[in-house]
Amino acid sequence: MSQNNIITNFRFIFIFIFSLILIKDCYSLTNSYIIEEDKIDPTHFYNTTLIQALDKSTATTQIIELSTDHEVKFGNISIKLHKCWQAPLSQIPESKALIEVIENNKNDLDSNLNKIFYGWMFASSPSLSSLQHPIYDLTILKCINK
């Protein structure tokens, strides 16, 4: 066997072993974020959230403290919190809120209520699920217990 063949075989074995080590490390990293229990812990649901509301037409912002099943008016929209979830300290920090937004369109003849948003909003990535409105912008800041 020539020396070039031995070096080539050695390189192949080295690359193969190194690849196995990398795959093993990547697999263990992805599994480290998996929640150990499949149960939903009710202690991580909070009853109040802080929302930053922006009126784009007047450039005014307001921090709104919103409790579960209560409505708060901001401009001509009403915001209602259904649930708020805060990640445990052992996980990546995250707050999520299930909110409902209703717009009150006041016309001369009648007033119509339009549900313009119903869903989960995420504090860590507000653009993932956001209110699509030409005047108002809402951002979840965090969940708190009161």
| 111 HSE (CA, 13 A, CB side) | 6
127: pLDDT confidence band, cut at 50, 70 and 90?
Answer: confident
**29 and 46 share a domain?**
no
Instruction: Report the share of the chain in percent with pLDDT over 90.
Output: 44
35: pLDDT confidence band, cut at 50, 70 and 90?
Answer: very low
pLDDT beyond 70 at 4: no
**26 and 85 share a domain?**
no
Domain that holds residue 115: 42-144
Dump pLDDT digits (tens) for 72-99.
Answer: 999 999 999 999 999 888 888 899 999 9
- Answering whether pTM is above 0.75, one says no
Averaged confidence pLDDT in the chain = 81
DSSP state of 68: B
**46 and 30 share a domain?**
no
User: Which residues does 53 contact at the CB level (< 8 Å), separation at least 6?
Assistant: 61, 62, 63, 64, 74, 79, 136, 137, 138
**104 and 80 share a domain?**
yes
71 three-state secondary structure? strand
